[in-house]
Structure 1
Amino acid sequence: MGQKNAIEKSWWKESVVYQIYPRSYQDSNRDGIGDLQGIIKRLPYLQWLGVDVIWLSPVYKSPNDDNGYDISDYRDIMTEFGTMEDFELLLKEAHNHDLKIMMDLVVNHSSDEHAWFVESRKSKDNPYRDYYIWREGKDGREPNNWGGSFGGSAWKYDDATDMYFLHTFSPKQPDLNWDNPVLRNEVFDMMSWWLDKGVDGFRMDVINMISKVPGLPDGNQEGRLYGDFTPYVMNGPHVHEYLKEMNQKVLSKYDVITVGEAPAVSVEEAKKYAGFDSGELNMVFEFEHMCVDEGKYGKWTKLPLDLVKLKEILTKWETGLDGLGWNSLYWNNHDQPRIVSRWGNDGEYHNKSAKMLGTCLHMLQGTPYIYQGEEIGMTNVDFTSINQFRDIECLNQYDDFVNKIGMDKEEAFARIKKSSRDNARTPMQWDSSVNGGFSEGTPWIEVNPNYTNINVEAQINDEDSILHFYKNLIKFRKNHEIVVYGSYDLLLADDPNVFAYKRTLGNQTLYVLCNFTEQSVDVEIPGYEEDKNQLVIHNDTEWTKGTLHPYEARVYLVN
């Protein structure tokens, strides 16, 4: 690839973002639900860790059909989380701790309890009717064959007006009609209201779904219970027009961080969303690397990791956006199972594999995102019953597997257990006290039983812990511009066991070697002779020239 023109420096390129799922972070009032005061209590910890930005999953008023991603009032706080005064104190205290706050913007859909929808469903000529997507049925059935993301049809019949409304997610999450300029201005006014309050940016939920193809044609139903809406909803005909309008009217007036969640986005499409000259967003969350282990049942089939394929995908994004746009880097979030259980080893090599995965991600070019608990190597939860799960998506999927497909209950449960979003949503493990120090009440979802061994308190005083390793990764990134702005080149592309790459900036080169297996593997880096004196990051107590031990990660800095 070689060195390209220097990339313009920006604070959000140099930042590390830490995602908080408020419901599961810290409970301050013993009701078993995390809250804003609990987050305030933990700000010194986040400052110590060295992160720069807190991404808050939704804290707006919500009936919680989808854990806050169904918003009933965009300008109020969920009662369980606290008050607007609590939020304003959080914002003030975060800034006092040199931490920025990035809100979760959920505007593809609202709650069906939002005042807009309450009005919209009253009559066909209501002023709010066109805030949502309403259609007549066809032959006594839904307007088209689309299936919702959480199972069932993407349409719900409303007898008040004898019509259907579109909900690409839960029936309690009706899609907003972005083709309506009045609706768009409502959203823009709301965004400005939060930015004027002092928030530092937005993570935008499924933002590439806001523009639908006119006519809403049937989707491919081959092998499916319902048709696939993806081609008609993802990256729709007016999405860039609407985001440019958002940027012009709102974002360009503030110095903020923006990242758009964009399922089914390509590198070429990402340049339109997040190119340096796009006039839209700073970066997008792509899903391609997160889908590399999917199979017959999509995310509910977790195949063995094909590392060559993973490297190919990440390299495509690294090289495709280099000098033109910016990558967001993540293994974990509130929608993904824990990475150490997925592509690492949460048993014998828990410590080493968690550190290796962190090294591999944080040395890439882009802005790294840490999901709460990732920094201590939190694992998937070992639930034994479907009744222990809380997530609407996995509960609906289990029902579909058993009652619509006829899958054996044990197989259905095994698929849910491995892939459920609840793996990421169990409470943060702070210490070995009751409920991991998360709550003195009964947690809304069970704490992972391994909290007695895997927790912040056990690791914060252990220099060899995963937590200290993450702290040092963040510090290294801040002290070495090559990690942020250096170009990227893949090494050993066809090696099925090792992810190796180099970063280059000026006369400096960074070599990154990560063994994704529990076997020792021999490596030879083209054009470089390993020198232990140049080893700057390492997750192993031993070093063998030319050989990587199980889950070993090494970073060499060559001047």
Structure 2
Amino acid sequence: MEKRWWKESVVYQIYPRSFCDSNGDGIGDLNGITGKLDYLKELGIDVIWLSPVYKSPNDDNGYDISDYQAIMDEFGTMEDFDRMLATAHEKGIKIMMDLVVNHTSDEHKWFIESRKSTDNPYRDYYIWRPAKEDGSLPNNWGSCFSGPAWEYDKTTDMYFLHLFSKKQPDLNWDNPAVRQDVFDMMNWWLKKGVDGFRMDVISLISKEPGLPDKETGINGYATFNVSANGPHVHEYLQEMRQKALNNADTITVGECSGVTLEEAKKYARSDEKELNMVFQFEHMDVDSDEKAGKWTTRKMDLRNLKKILTRWQKGLQDIAWNSLYWENHDQPRSVSRFGNDSDEYREISAKMLATCIHMMQGTPYVYQGEELGMTNCPFNTLDNFRDLESINAFHELTEQGKMTEEDMMAAIGYKGRDNARTPMQWDDSAYAGFSTTNPWIMVNPNYTKINAKDQVNREDSVFKYYQKLIKLRHESELIVYGTYDLILDDDKDIYAYIRTLGDEKLIVYCNFSENTREVELPEEFVNKKVLISNYSDAKANQKITLRPYEAIVIQK
């Protein structure tokens, strides 16, 4: 297997709006990030994935871009960006930008021109269709943010496609001029010195010819994934590789909604003709259900999680490369979802989850605050939420009688994206040290107990544990490149697997439950080195008693 720096790296995602506010306006900014780079250096990460900082009217928190080559006023200036980039590079940290090119804002100059007339030079930059003969919408596709994926525009008496918000019209990637403008913009950022791109919903850029009707989902519309893995997506990404990505030594990861294992082998294959790796979402759907989709409070069955992650570990082995994650800006906090966020078990289970994912083959991604064991936020009214997806889903599903208000509040409180977007908890001062004023979204009230100031200085903290995990990965080719084999397949409490590289081996046990469980350690690992454990007195005995949420890694 070819060794590459991005395989050996650990990536840290920053959601700038919620990371650190340097100027007291309640909104995180670029100078706030620059001021915290020493903290990230201490943690040990190699790459920052920066969620969008481009100019945007903020309909979808910056994922609706009106100018790809300007900085959002709230975040600072291009000079602030350049200073942050230079400072990060001085500290040995690379910067991966968020590339959002399935759609733009409706305030982007391309769309402003496109909607003016049917013969405007920019008309074909977007996807326009007339109503059907019976006056109905062009097709039955739905938006990710509820409702139809079509918005009427009276200027030309036609509809434009938006798989997300109506203020996020989809670009027409079948137009070569669109592709060239995107590649030119990417080259502009690469010339500036950025180190790669995380590509937002990149699997959606190639739409099926004719835009046919599809099977409908729970809201009566065809899911927004109808255009996932379209007929030209690989062709367009190969063109991107040739015209932009090969101009620098980049790290690339594609957010691939609806991706299958077979498709991922094409996106992230080792010949590097497209992307380095993809984000797949199968394990993020492990606690969804058929009736309500993601909007449920049900807990996962660990056996299903093991099947999914093992299929991806084995399926991409020697062919492509995995990304490893529990959290990002679109997911609730993992310790509240897959662990136990009670006072008794929060830190123990946060460390267990970290062990489970960081010991697999692939590039680990840490989302801001995950390294502290930050939890879901107790949002108690709809007014506390800021996320368009959660608010729209609440109204749509309750008004259609598919969910009660009580059940829907519980569901968006458990699974809503705002859980990950509450301010980073820096210390126990007012507003968690994130700002000197009331932030744009509520601070989780547990910041007095869970904060970076406490954890950086406490040897048994979640932060220190992540620091150790990251250091182990930097020192061990076995952890980076070793093969993966699941054991105890049918166990409902324990996730266990073996990593192998040549004569080297390690075994990982992670107890996902409050149950105390005894396991028989394979002979070759008995009395061998305990590489890391979230209990200080863990031993490699022939019989191991796994305590609640215990994780132990033993190297042969």
In which range does the TM-score fall when normalised by the shorter chain? over 0.9
Classify 1:177/1:222 alpha carbon distance in 2 versus 1 (closer, same or farther; 3 Å). Answer: closer
Report the 3-state secondary structure (helix = DSSP H, G, I; strand = E; otherwise coil) of the residue aligned with 1:37: helix
Q: Distance in 2 between matches of 1:351 and 1:114?
A: 44
- 1:118-267 superposed matches below 5 A: 118-138=112-132, 139-221=134-216, 223-231=218-226, 233-267=227-261
Q: Distance in 2 between matches of 1:50 and 1:457?
A: 17
Counterpart of 1:383 in structure 2 is 379
Counterpart of 1:360 in structure 2 is 356
CA RMSD, Structure 1 to Structure 2 (Å): 1.1
Deviation at 1:546, TM superposition (A): 2.2
Provide Cα deviations, 1:171-199, integer angstroms capped at 9, x if missing partner: 00000000000010000000000000000
Structure 2 residue 551 is matched with structure 1 residue 553: yes
Q: Distance in 1 between matches of 2:6 and 2:278?
A: 13
Q: Distance in 2 between matches of 1:528 and 1:63?
A: 59
How many residue pairs are counted as aligned between the two chains? 550
Deviation at 1:109, TM superposition (A): 0.2
Counterpart of 2:85 in structure 1 is 91
Report the 3-state secondary structure (helix = DSSP H, G, I; strand = E; otherwise coil) of the residue aligned with 1:243: helix
Classify 1:102/1:485 alpha carbon distance in 2 versus 1 (closer, same or farther; 3 Å). Answer: same
Which residue identity lines up with residue 475 of structure 2 in the other structure?
N
Report the 3-state secondary structure (helix = DSSP H, G, I; strand = E; otherwise coil) of the residue aligned with 1:555: strand
Counterpart of 2:465 in structure 1 is 469
Which residue identity lines up with residue 38 of structure 2 in the other structure?
P
Structure 2 residue 127 is matched with structure 1 residue 114: no
Classify 1:142/1:517 alpha carbon distance in 2 versus 1 (closer, same or farther; 3 Å). Answer: same
Classify 1:293/1:192 alpha carbon distance in 2 versus 1 (closer, same or farther; 3 Å). Answer: same
Q: Is the 8 A contact 1:218 1:229 kept in 2?
A: no
Q: Distance in 2 between matches of 1:168 and 1:464?
A: 45
Which residue identity lines up with residue 554 of structure 1 in the other structure?
I
Deviates more, 1:127-136 or 1:540-549: 540-549
Provide Cα deviations, 1:82-136, integer angstroms capped at 9, x if missing partner: 0000000110000011100000000000000000000000000000000000000
Q: 1:329 aligns with which of 314, 324, 330?
A: 324
Deviation at 1:442, TM superposition (A): 1.3
Provide Cα deviations, 1:351-379, integer angstroms capped at 9, x if missing partner: 10000000000000000000000000000
Deviation at 1:405, TM superposition (A): 2.9
Q: 2:367 aligns with which of 343, 351, 371?
A: 371
Q: Is the 8 A contact 1:491 1:525 kept in 2?
A: no
Q: Distance in 1 between matches of 2:525 and 2:60?
A: 52
Q: Distance in 1 between matches of 2:402 and 2:100?
A: 34
Q: Distance in 2 between matches of 1:385 and 1:35?
A: 27
Deviation at 1:147, TM superposition (A): 1.0
Deviation at 1:35, TM superposition (A): 0.1
Q: Distance in 1 between matches of 2:261 and 2:223?
A: 22
Report the 3-state secondary structure (helix = DSSP H, G, I; strand = E; otherwise coil) of the residue aligned with 1:331: coil
Which residue identity lines up with residue 116 of structure 1 in the other structure?
W
Identical pairs, percent? 62
Q: Is the 8 A contact 2:51 2:97 kept in 1?
A: yes
Provide Cα deviations, 1:241-263, integer angstroms capped at 9, x if missing partner: 00000001111121010000001
Report the 3-state secondary structure (helix = DSSP H, G, I; strand = E; otherwise coil) of the residue aligned with 2:364: strand
Structure 2 residue 284 is matched with structure 1 residue 284: no
Q: Is the 8 A contact 2:508 2:551 kept in 1?
A: yes
Q: Distance in 2 between matches of 1:309 and 1:402?
A: 30
Structure 2 residue 60 is matched with structure 1 residue 66: yes
Counterpart of 2:5 in structure 1 is 11
Q: Is the 8 A contact 2:55 2:73 kept in 1?
A: yes
Counterpart of 2:449 in structure 1 is 453
Structure 2 residue 38 is matched with structure 1 residue 44: yes
Counterpart of 2:536 in structure 1 is 541
Counterpart of 1:522 in structure 2 is 518
Deviation at 1:523, TM superposition (A): 1.3
Report the 3-state secondary structure (helix = DSSP H, G, I; strand = E; otherwise coil) of the residue aligned with 1:499: strand
Deviation at 1:525, TM superposition (A): 3.8
Provide Cα deviations, 1:140-188, integer angstroms capped at 9, x if missing partner: 2210111100001100000000000000000000000000000100000
Structure 2 residue 500 is matched with structure 1 residue 509: no
Classify 1:222/1:456 alpha carbon distance in 2 versus 1 (closer, same or farther; 3 Å). Answer: closer
Q: Distance in 1 between matches of 2:515 and 2:211?
A: 51
Deviation at 1:409, TM superposition (A): 1.4
Report the 3-state secondary structure (helix = DSSP H, G, I; strand = E; otherwise coil) of the residue aligned with 1:237: coil
Structure 2 residue 33 is matched with structure 1 residue 33: no
Classify 1:384/1:222 alpha carbon distance in 2 versus 1 (closer, same or farther; 3 Å). Answer: closer
Which residue identity lines up with residue 388 of structure 1 in the other structure?
N
Counterpart of 1:3 in structure 2 is none
Structure 2 residue 27 is matched with structure 1 residue 55: no
Counterpart of 1:443 in structure 2 is 439
Q: Distance in 1 between matches of 2:85 and 2:529?
A: 41
Deviation at 1:304, TM superposition (A): 1.8
Q: Is the 8 A contact 2:297 2:410 kept in 1?
A: no
Deviation at 1:217, TM superposition (A): 0.8
Which residue identity lines up with residue 94 of structure 1 in the other structure?
A
Q: Distance in 2 between matches of 1:436 and 1:82?
A: 22
Q: Distance in 1 between matches of 2:73 and 2:389?
A: 23
Q: Is the 8 A contact 1:492 1:525 kept in 2?
A: no
Report the 3-state secondary structure (helix = DSSP H, G, I; strand = E; otherwise coil) of the residue aligned with 1:405: coil
Q: 1:480 aligns with which of 476, 483, 493?
A: 476
Q: Distance in 1 between matches of 2:458 and 2:176?
A: 55
Deviates more, 1:217-226 or 1:457-466: 217-226
Report the 3-state secondary structure (helix = DSSP H, G, I; strand = E; otherwise coil) of the residue aligned with 2:253: strand
Q: Distance in 1 between matches of 2:477 and 2:166?
A: 47
Which residue identity lines up with residue 505 of structure 1 in the other structure?
L
Q: Distance in 2 between matches of 1:478 and 1:487?
A: 17
Deviation at 1:416, TM superposition (A): 1.1
Which residue identity lines up with residue 189 of structure 2 in the other structure?
W
Report the 3-state secondary structure (helix = DSSP H, G, I; strand = E; otherwise coil) of the residue aligned with 2:520: coil
Q: Is the 8 A contact 2:196 2:252 kept in 1?
A: yes
Q: Is the 8 A contact 2:510 2:551 kept in 1?
A: yes
Q: Distance in 2 between matches of 1:386 and 1:528?
A: 55
Report the 3-state secondary structure (helix = DSSP H, G, I; strand = E; otherwise coil) of the residue aligned with 1:546: strand
Structure 2 residue 310 is matched with structure 1 residue 312: no
Q: Is the 8 A contact 1:394 1:420 kept in 2?
A: yes
Structure 2 gap ranges (5+): none
Q: Distance in 1 between matches of 2:217 and 2:367?
A: 36
